[in-house]
A and B are shown apart, each in its own frame.
Chain A
Amino acid sequence: MDKIREIIKKEWSEVFKNRLVLGSVILMPLVFTIMPLVILRGMQSGADVEMADMASGLPDNFSLMCEGLSSAACGQFFVLLQFLSLFLLMPMMIPVTIASYSIVGEKNTRTLEPVLATPITTLELLLGKALAGVIPALTITWFSYGVFVMGTSMIATDKALVGAILSPIWLIAIFVISALLSVAGVSLSIMISSRVNDPRAAEQLSSLVVIPLLAVFMGQSFGFIQFDLTLVVWAAFGMLLLDVVLMYFAIQLFQRETILTRWK
């Protein structure tokens, strides 16, 4: 346990010295939290009629989610929902960035061999590396969500909107799915880092993991997919399964001998 903590500390003191990493870890949550609040603010001052118009233009099945909301609030809710997708990008992108830089970095400085020569288990090392990415990702995501909820409750005139973004769907997405997404991001980064020697390339390749996520959200905003509780719960289970598969391969690749002889 001590060793895992030490690895995490070391990762952070190293990886956050990199401006690129630090920048993306700070910028993303900042933008994704402030942007929806600014837009919400703007919509608040707009005429209610406009909002109602917009609500009528929403995908049919979306209005089902607006139960209990005024048509203006429903329009606002629709806009905020688009940002949910961005919120779920964070827990995925942050660990991908950190893990890519940390693993490829160790490959390039050839520090993996002396680390593996210590009495550490490969699982401890893997957990240290993974947690070094997952912990900041989830902390930042959850904190941003907190700020987002607080901001909404201060800005929105229709307080039902706050209830809507605190619905089980949002809570599951933010607290469960995001955790699962960050694990997927880390596992994929490990696999890709074992083959790639440029941290930026590793980061970019690993980022492809967000494509299915984006597809889901595109489908959602065009009305092909409708988020309801059952779907979100199923998505969580699907993610869990994907995580298990990805983790299995990551662990296979993260064996002493494999790292030393096959990682190039």
Chain B
Amino acid sequence: MTDNMIYTNKLTKCFGDNLAVDRLSLEIPAGEVFGLLGPNGAGKTTTIRMLSALIGPTSGEARVGGYDVTQDGYMVRKSVGILTETPGLYNQLSAERNLSFFAKLYEVADIPAQVEKYLRMLGLWDRRHEEVGTFSKGMRQKLAIARALLHEPKILYLDEPTSGLDPQASRIVREFIAGLRQEGRTIIICTHNLSEADRLCDRVAVFRSKLLALDTPTNLRRQIFGRMVVFHLTEAQPGLAEVVGGVDFVQKAEIVENKLVITLDDPEAQNPTLVKLLVEHGAEIRFVGELRRSLEDVYLHLVNAPMAEEREED
């Protein structure tokens, strides 16, 4: 708990009867990029709001940067930068004025320098005098990201940073986030873009009110689907699946068209045995590869599975 930048214990939020966040316990060490994944209404934004001391938990506790969110809201807000779900900028004011206003509220010492730094970093310097109302969605999003960073927070929350952006703008934002990670900031990203989470996040939590799974994207894939190796064959004889399936370390073997798909734990150590076995049985191996499940598969598996359970309970 002491080393964690963010620590929550059975953090819960109810809106009336609606249990938006249910006993969420997380430990996020300094410097980690942490992904919060979950369907619409899962409680991601609510969690971020609790961790920014914007709304109070119904029960449970949370410490952010060493400060308790209920008792030390002021210090929590001071140490945290937040990109809210909607950018929330003053349309009638210029980009520069928007930032200088928030810089003042964040008690930034050298406001012009910080404002210039981030306007330049996000490519908005040339348009600093223009009213934000005339900006495109992508520019607004960038400006909102700049705002979150003005006070150089150690902790950053990004609620759907690339939603609604075109591929190029998304990429710029993603690369920018990757750069922030280099600076050693602790970052929580809420996103529906799973390949983005896969690329950016050290660990991801899949959650729908309750925590469903939490691990590195690679481990999640492995835990849920195991590791899979695909042998591309010239011709797959029907008996091969049974032959390979009989090997003790093989969890599953099936033939799909001309491919033999094998689930096992340790392909690096176990592949040579399989190759030998297949060759002995007359198979011609053209190509061997690992089947990588996307994080999307993992996500859908996790999010859909408990729904089935709930249905059974009814």
Contacts and interface: CB of A to CB of B under 8 A. Distances in A.
B234 interface: no
A10 B86 contact: no
A159 interface: no
A109 B93 contact: no
Most buried by B among A14, A110, A113, A121: A113
B65 to A, nearest CB: 12
Contact of A111 (B15, B49, B88): B88
Given A6-B105, A118-B106, A261-B55, A113 B93 contact: no
Interface in B88-128: 88-93, 97, 101-102, 104-107
A114 B84 contact: yes
Interface string B6-30: 0000000001000000000000000
A65 B49 CA distance: 61
B104 A6 contact: yes
B74 interface: yes
A2 B104 contact: yes
A116 interface: yes
A117 interface: yes
Interface residues of A, number: 25
Given A118-B77, A119-B105, A261 B15 contact: yes
B227 interface: no
A257 interface: yes
A3 interface: yes
B201 interface: no
A10 B54 CA distance: 22
Contacts of A114: 82, 84, 88, 102, 144, 147
Contacts of B80: 117
Contact of A14 (B78, B82, B92, B147): B92
A111 B90 contact: yes
Contact of B89 (A3, A109, A117): A109
Nearest to A120: B105
A14 B84 contact: no
A3 B91 contact: no
B84 A115 contact: no
A111 B102 CA distance: 11
Given A17-B92, A113-B84, A114-B82, A260 B104 contact: no
Nearest to B104: A6
Contact of A117 (B75, B77, B90, B92): B77
A13 interface: yes
A10 B90 contact: yes
B186 interface: no
A256 interface: yes
Given A119-B105, A260-B55, A13 B88 contact: no
B104 A117 contact: no
Contact of A119 (B49, B55, B106): B106
11 contacts: A3-B105, A13-B93, A14-B92, A14-B93, A17-B92, A110-B84, A113-B54, A117-B54, A117-B80, A117-B82, A119-B78
Given A114-B144, A256-B55, 8 more contacts: A6-B101, A6-B104, A10-B90, A10-B101, A109-B90, A113-B88, A114-B84, A260-B49
